[in-house]
Every structure is written in structure tokens, then in C-alpha cells.
Amino acid sequence: MEAIIQRINGQLAACTCGSTHRTIRLDGVIEHGALAKVAPYIKQAGWTQVVLAVDRHTWKAAGQALSEDLRAQGISVDICEFSEDERGDVLADAASILHLLLHVSERTEAIIACGSGTIHDIVRFVTAKTDKPFLSVPTAASVDGFTSAGAPLIIAGVKQTIQTKAPEAIFADLAVLARAPSTLTAAGLGDLLGKFTSLADWQVSRDMADEPFCPAAYMLTKEALERCVTAADEIAAGSEHGIRLLMEALLISGWSMLAIHHSRPASGGEHHISHIWEMQSIRLGLKQQLHGAKVGVATVLLSKLYKRLAELGTVQPAFQVYESLPDSRVIADMLRKLGAPVSPEELGITADRVHEALRQGPDLRDRATGLRYIRDHHPEWFDEVVAG
């Protein structure tokens, strides 16, 4: 991991985009048995009291073993377990934030996020507000936000990404990650395949709306995407080697966002659709689907729409970037290798909800995307793509 970080910092240092790039600093390891290195790290730091944030699934996956290791080293551990709501979900919302805050005291010397995306988002927000060290222990290779500073939170029913802080160390145990449910690994791939459309949207926003663009962050994210496309079969096999390749790609994508202080490289129209679907589920009282699963399905939808935009390249030259997108069937085939959903129907999302997300998604962030252009100029295309 250290070699990857050094290379990334070299690329960022050489970038001439004019933006301020954050230097990537992160301790920890990605290896089999990484969980056993958390307690020695904390011991060496001189900390004697930590909070361990888990849910009932991540407690079984790694939290219990980690807490036993910590206590064996004489470290006091306060377990903050997030309970599921009536739908069976743990949400990164005000209630969860308060729950964790109630476990944090002046004596708390660090907070450990043991889980996947949601737990990390809660912990990164609370550690930023309390100025406590933040350690990451992923239990599934399911999202690209482990190493970013952005915390997507549900605030008054609206999905908002707040810039907070990145972890100072990450301990990704390949044995733990390989044991995770395949649906979580598939979600990680879905989150990364969303970079096909997010990177194209970023180029379009640069050319049509003069939005800031960083070639170094773009190439980092593109590299993460290409790693996963090349390794799709190994990832689908669920081997530790395949999981390592996926996890490294997820971390690189997270670092690209961290380096430029925003999520533009890794989040375009496909994420806006996913966020609207999440908000709909909260409003309707429905169980949430995995973030990466929603992003993967949204990417399949958008690739169809964006291929049509590419045909307008003679009118809007910026849209020519969409020509390079894979056919939607190619993206769907990669997702199917891991048993991931490829259509809204497989997620239990109705046609009305798809229409609403396509219309409302462009308003969720102040960003120029192909989705916004279609909504404003060719909304009839939405009917055609929803009809299949």
C-alpha cells in the first residue's frame, strides 16, 4: 500500500491543473491477517481507550475478534453497536450520529469504524466534529469511500455529502473481506463501474460548464476502473487475490476524491439517481438496497441514454466523450458475473420511481451532467429507456 500511495502522490505533485492537491498520508495494510495489526498499532500510539463502532453483522465479521485483541493488550474498548431500524437498515443519519456521540467522551482517544460504507460515514463525521483519530477496519470491499473525506449523510430526508476527514490508518484483512457476502463484493464492483459515466460526466462539465477539472484525479479514478474491468473474473471468483485487486481499486478511487477535496471524479449522474432511490426508500418506508448495487443499475441505464447523447456530438462536441462508454450490455454482463442486479426491477424499483429519479437526480448536486442535459432538452428519452 505504501508504494501505491507514493506513486499517487507523485502523480498529484506533477499535476498542472492549478488546484490544491492534498497529500495522501495513510498507515495500515491490505493483507491476510491485517486485523491482528490493529491492537499493536493502537498500543504503539499510546492510546488506552477507544470506541469500536459496529453493527450486528460487522461485530460477527471482525468486531468481536478485534475487541478481544484490544482488551488483551490492555486497551479499554467501548462498543457502539448501531441497531437496525424497523426496515432492517442502519442509516448514516442524525440518530446514528447522536448514538455514536453518546459513546464518545474526553477520555476517548480514537474511534474505529468496523464495517462498510454506512458505519464509516457515521464515524468520519463524528471524528471530524470531535477531533478524534479515525481508524478504518473494512469488513467488505463494497464501496470506494473508505479513504475519502466525504460523508454522505441523510439530513432531514435529503442525501448530502459533507466533507469531513479521512482515516489515518486502514487495516483491510483479506480473509475478512473474502468471507463477506458476495452481494457486498458485487456492490463494490457496481460502485466502481459507475466511474464509466462519472468520468465522462466530469469531462462534459469541464467543456460545457467550465467546472474545475484535475487530470491527475481523473487518471487515478480511470486507473481504479480499469483495474476492476481487467480483474472482473478474479473478483467474481472471490479469491483473496481478486478481493485485493478490488479493494486496492476502491481505495485509489477514494484517494482521488480526497486529493481534490470533492467527489467529482467518482460521482456523476449515476450517483444522483442512486441517491434519489435511497431517499425514495426512506420516504416510502422501504428497505434500502446496497449503494453499489443501485449505482451499478443506474450506470446501465445511463450508458443507454449517454450513447444517444454521443450522437449529438456534431451539435455539442463535448458529448463526443460519451462515445467511449461501453455498451450497456457489456456493463450488465460484468455485473452479472457477480450475481449483481442490472435492472431497476431486480432492485424492486418501479417505473414511476425510475422516472422520478431521472427527473430529480440532476437537481441533487450543482453539477453539469449528461443526465441534466437530457432532462432539460430530451425528457422523452426517459420514457424510452424506462420502457426498455
Contact between 361 and 339 (Cβ < 8 Å)? no
CA torsion 213-214-219-220 (nearest 10°) is -120
- In total, the chain counts a number of residues equal to 388
CA–CA gap between residue 140 and residue 355 (Å, rounded)? 31
Residue 173: pLDDT above 80? Answer: yes
Report the mean per-residue pLDDT for the chain: 96
Closest CA to 193 of 320, 8, 332: 332
To 10 degrees, what angle do helices 291-310 and 269-284 make?
130
> pTM of the entire structure?
0.95
Which residues have a Cβ under 8 Å from the Cβ of 138 and sit 6 or more positions away? Answer: 115, 116, 120, 146, 170, 172, 176, 177, 247
- Give the helix/strand (H/E) hosting 204: helix 195-209
Check whether 388 has a pLDDT greater than 80.
Answer: no
Short-list 52, 45, 13, 51, CA closest to 28:
45
Report CA Rg, the chain: 20
- What pLDDT does 1 receive? 87
388 burial via Cβ count (<10 Å: 0-12, 13-18, 19+): exposed
Helix (H) or strand (E) holding 54, with range, is strand 49-55
pLDDT above 90 (res 314): no
Q: What percent of the chain has pLDDT over 90?
A: 93
Cβ pair 29, 1 in contact under 8 A = yes
Whether the Cβ atoms of residue 190 and residue 296 lie closer than 8 Å to each other: yes
| pLDDT of 276 | 97
Q: What is the pLDDT of residues 42-82, one digit of tens each?
A: 999 999 999 999 999 999 999 999 999 999 999 999 999 99
**Helical packing angle, 380-387 and 370-377, nearest 10°:** 110
